[in-house]
Amino acid sequence: MYRSFSEKLADPDLIDLGEGIYVLRFEVMKVASVRAAVQDLLDRGVVRPGQTLVDSSSGIYGHALALVCREFGLKCHIFASISVDAGIRTQLTYLGATFQQVPSSASLKHDQEIRVRLVHKYLEANPDAYWMQQYHDDVHYLGYRGVARTVVEELGVDGLTLVGGVGTGASTSGMGRYLREASPEVRVAGIQPFGSRSFGAESAPMDSFIIAGIGSGIRFANIDYRIYDTVHWLDFDVAAAGCRHLLATTGVFAGLSGGAGWQVARYVRETEPGGGPVVFLAADPGHRYVELVYPVEAADAPDPGYRPVRVSSLDDLAGPWATMDWARRPFHVQDDLPEWHQVPRAA
């Protein structure tokens, strides 16, 4: 029996989709990282019950933080992107969180920049609040230790490949770290949208639709670039086609990051037919994306059969899908506004 709803949401379903491909399907993936992070901060006395936790979110992190704060007796304030829909806003409200939704921006960098600036101003006005820094603090890795343990127990690590969106780095960087405690040979394939600053692709034209949660417009300090063996850049059309094919062939209803993961997982299986298990992350269900991704008239459309172009230089990146061997090398993204990472934290 689960002791709380957040504990249940932190425990994904590992589903066999056939041909050696598996999905770790979450309802709200970031509950796993938020729940463990908040518990750790409380245990160490960094935050205390009744305190306000604040952060920026494009959707599921804000929902996760509100849910966990409600459970642990904390307050929550979210600076939300325009992609936060009515369903999430309703849950934030009922969970007792306060939030401010930031107007739409044509730029991922500008959108994230505005929200983090607002966090900075909020902390100046509310010095007792604590900034969770989902973009920067690797305390968010902790929640994926148990998820990694489940994968190892169920599938082993022989030839294992993990596939997932990079985003802040917590999920795939954290999973990769804990999986490699079992075997350093575990491979990790990270997914990015074109134009994301992480991995140095900001010069590539940004897709017209921001794939929320897997791209970066500012520096994310909690990405461990040495985790990743390969990186895949996908545009909206590739991810959306993956969502539709995943639903039509397996019944799994997933958001854009899950559709992107399905595309990459199938490509890995196709190019390594005799390899070990391929596990991809589906961070959330597809309800937020129904109108944009799942039009009824597309239900019978054939799979477009997208395949990536392999490149050896970031200068050669081109849509709709490109992939490059990253080879676990380090990388550093310059800060435009270093003070974002110097905000004093309440004790």
Q: Domains in the chain, ordered, with CATH?
A: 5-29+140-325 (3.40.50.1100), 31-138 (3.40.50.1100)
The residue-averaged pLDDT of 70-74 equals 97
Q: Look over the chain and give the mean of its residue pLDDT values, rounded to a whole number.
A: 90
At 346 the pLDDT is 34
Q: What is the pLDDT of residues 305-319, one digit of tens each?
A: 999 999 999 999 988
Phi then psi for residue 46, to 5 deg, are -70, -40
Share of the chain above pLDDT 90, in %: 72
Mean pLDDT throughout 49-77?
A: 93
Q: Please give the average per-residue pLDDT across 66-80, as a whole number.
A: 95
269 or 347: whose pLDDT is higher?
269
pLDDT band (50, 70, 90) for residue 273: confident
Exposed/middle/buried for 217, CB within 10 Å: 0-12, 13-18, 19+? buried
Residue 342, pLDDT > 70, answer no
More confident residue, 104 or 31: 31
Query: 64, 76 in Cβ contact below 8 A?
Result: no
Given this model, what pLDDT does residue 271 score? 96
**pLDDT tens-digit map of 204-241:** 876 655 666 788 878 889 999 999 999 999 999 999 99
Residue 105 pLDDT class (50, 70, 90 cuts): low
Q: Which of 36-45, 95-104, 291-300 comes out lowest in average pLDDT?
A: 95-104
pTM of the model: 0.92
149-170 pLDDT, tens digit per residue, is: 999 999 999 999 999 999 888 8
C-alpha to C-alpha distances, 8 to 3, 31, 64, 87, 105, nearest whole angstrom: 8, 9, 12, 19, 34
Q: How confident is the model at residue 284, as a pLDDT?
A: 92
pLDDT of residue 347: 30
pLDDT at 107 over 70: no
| Nearest-angstrom CA–CA distance, 291 and 87 | 14
